[in-house]
């Protein structure tokens, strides 16, 4: 198990979301505004629902940081749900039951399986926690990990590459621009972005929803994070698991991904060359920065596919669990498309796994020890 771990708590319309992060070394300077910047990016995106207009997510630190620096203690991050004010009766902690129960369960959501498994008769008891509102807490944790990684010379960025079948043209993307935050949809092909917005508008008009694909890129990771020694030390496996653990993510690719099943080895594997200084280099990165479950010094490239949002304004056929009859599924205030928000969550989950991998390899209770270990290792492997 990695020395860096975290838990989140909180319901979508509860008082707040909380995360406890343990394992960040002492001596890391933390800029809360950088974390809040990521929280704001998670809220953005064409096609988001009304909830995001109510919230202005800000993380509050209630433990683990003193005078702007970590002390090695568990760090507690808290994000208040402004919408709680409108839900104090329906989400009361100790009050009496109030409001209609949610019984017309939604296909594609946790509602039905959750009520059966946890023996509840109101799907709100399930959907409040299954909701991706929880990802705000993960983005705060990821923001902290991004600051830790930045101190180690590692940067994590993301961009949207497909929405509802509209794909970017790689040739139109300036990869340096990715991560600049200059796009509403977190998409750096302006032509595709316009077409994506159009597609979202159409889906909205039809009471429908859309999914898509985003890509996370890690720059500056030293080679040798992760290991080939055991299945559960492989970094490709950890990254894929973290990405799949985001609500609505149904597929993950690393590098050329599923294309590997179509092309011959001569068109997939990245050939190696020697520079004049005697350094090994590659001209391509179809491995996506990972070979043998270890980083190989190239950019890490992970893509994730998000399914369309399961709450439709033109609801799907379903059942009412209280009345045992067929009905149309319930409607909760909802996003039409949240791929750009999911890309920020993907960035956070990747940052958490990368921070764990760095700590596993270089250890250290104090940042100065970790950075010294890392520097001598980088000098030895020149990566």
Ligand X SMILES: Cc1cc2nc3c(=O)[nH]c(=O)nc-3n(C[C@H](O)[C@H](O)[C@H](O)COP(=O)(O)O)c2cc1C
Using CB under 6 A, which residues numbered 46 to 85 contact ligand X? 49
Binding window for ligand X (CB under 6 A); candidates: 27-35, 72-80, 242-250, 266-274: 242-250
By beta-carbon proximity to ligand X, the closer residue of 295 and 334 is 334
Q: Is 30 in the site for ligand X (CB under 6 A)?
A: no
Binding window for ligand X (CB under 6 A); candidates: 145-153, 171-179, 269-277, 338-346: 338-346
By beta-carbon proximity to ligand X, the closer residue of 334 and 350 is 334
Using CB under 6 A, which residues numbered 288 to 327 contact ligand X? 307, 309-311
Shortest CB 126 distance to ligand X, Å: 9
Q: What is the DSSP letter of 223?
A: T
Instruction: Characterize 227-262 residue by residue with b for buried, 16 or more Cβ atoms within 10 angstroms of its Cβ, and e for exposed.
Output: beeeeeebbbebbbebbeebbbbeebbbbbeeebee
Q: Is 345 in the site for ligand X (CB under 6 A)?
A: yes
Shortest CB 80 distance to ligand X, Å: 19
Shortest CB 6 distance to ligand X, Å: 17
Q: What are phi and psi of 268, to 5 degrees?
A: -110, -50
- The set of long-range contacts for 230-238, using a CB threshold of 8 Å and a minimum separation of 24, is 233/293, 234/292, 234/293, 234/294, 235/290, 235/293, 235/294, 235/295, 235/353, 235/357, 236/290, 236/293, 237/293, 238/353, 238/356, 238/357
By beta-carbon proximity to ligand X, the closer residue of 108 and 153 is 108
Q: In this structure, what token pair is assigned to residue 150?
A: 């930045």
By beta-carbon proximity to ligand X, the closer residue of 172 and 250 is 250
Binding window for ligand X (CB under 6 A); candidates: 129-137, 141-149, 235-243, 260-268: 129-137
Burial classification of residue 273, based on how many CB atoms lie within 10 Å of its CB (0-12 exposed, 13-18 middle, 19 or more buried): exposed
Residue selected from 217, 338, 349, 374 as contacting ligand X according to rule CB under 6 A = 338
Burial classification of residue 28, based on how many CB atoms lie within 10 Å of its CB (0-12 exposed, 13-18 middle, 19 or more buried): buried
Shortest CB 19 distance to ligand X, Å: 16
Give the separation between CA 73 and CA 160, rounded to whole angstroms. Answer: 35
Q: Provide the β-strand partners of residue 378.
A: none
Shortest CB 148 distance to ligand X, Å: 23
Shortest CB 49 distance to ligand X, Å: 5
Query: Which residue from 339, 344, 303 is spatially nearest to 139, judged by alpha carbons?
Result: 344
By beta-carbon proximity to ligand X, the closer residue of 24 and 330 is 330
Q: Is 142 in the site for ligand X (CB under 6 A)?
A: no
Residue selected from 38, 215, 298, 335 as contacting ligand X according to rule CB under 6 A = 335
Query: How do 65-66 and 59-63 pair as beta strands?
Result: unpaired
Using CB under 6 A, which residues numbered 246 to 265 contact ligand X? 246-248
Shortest CB 138 distance to ligand X, Å: 10
Rg of the chain (C-alpha set): 22
Residues that bind ligand X (CB under 6 A): 49, 108-110, 130-132, 135, 246-248, 307, 309-311, 334-335, 338, 341-342, 345
């Amino acid at each position: 198990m990695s020395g860096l771990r975290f838990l989140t708590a909180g319901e979508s319309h509860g008082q707040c979301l909380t995360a406890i992060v343990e394992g960040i070394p002492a001596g890391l300077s933390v800029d809360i505004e950088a974390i809040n910047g990521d929280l704001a990016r998670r809220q953005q995106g064409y096609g988001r629902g009304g909830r995001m207009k109510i919230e202005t997510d800000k993380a509050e630190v209630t433990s683990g940081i003193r005078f702007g620096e970590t002390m090695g203690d568990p760090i507690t991050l808290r994000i208040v749900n402004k919408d709680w004010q409108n839900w104090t009766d329906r989400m009361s902690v100790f009050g009496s039951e109030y409001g209609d129960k949610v019984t017309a369960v939604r296909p594609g959501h946790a509602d039905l399986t959750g009520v059966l498994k946890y023996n509840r008769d109101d799907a709100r008891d399930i959907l409040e926690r299954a909701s991706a509102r929880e990802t705000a807490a993960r983005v705060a944790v990821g923001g902290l990990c991004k600051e830790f990684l930045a101190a180690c010379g590692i940067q994590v960025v993301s961009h949207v590459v497909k929405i509802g079948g509209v794909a970017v043209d790689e040739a139109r993307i300036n990869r340096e621009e990715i991560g600049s935050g200059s796009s509403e949809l977190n998409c750096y092909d302006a032509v595709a972005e316009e077409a994506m917005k159009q597609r979202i508008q159409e889906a909205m008009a039809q009471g429908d929803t859309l999914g898509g694909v985003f890509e996370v890129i890690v720059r500056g990771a030293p080679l040798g994070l992760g290991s080939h020694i055991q299945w559960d030390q492989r970094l490709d496996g950890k990254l894929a698991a973290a990405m799949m653990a985001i609500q609505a993510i149904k597929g993950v690719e690393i590098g050329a991904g599923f294309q590997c099943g179509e092309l011959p080895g001569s068109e997939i594997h990245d050939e190696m060359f020697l520079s004049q200084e005697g350094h090994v280099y590659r001209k391509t990165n179809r491995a996506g920065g990972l070979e043998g479950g270890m980083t190989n010094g190239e950019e890490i490239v992970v893509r994730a596919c998000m399914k369309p949002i399961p709450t439709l304004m033109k609801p799907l056929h379903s059942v009412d669990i209280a009345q045992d009859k067929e009905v149309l599924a319930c409607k909760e205030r909802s996003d039409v498309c949240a791929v750009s928000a999911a890309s920020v969550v993907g960035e956070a989950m990747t940052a958490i796994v990368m921070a764990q991998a760095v700590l596993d390899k270089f250890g250290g209770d104090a940042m100065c020890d970790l950075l010294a270990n890392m520097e001598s290792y980088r000098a030895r492997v020149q990566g």
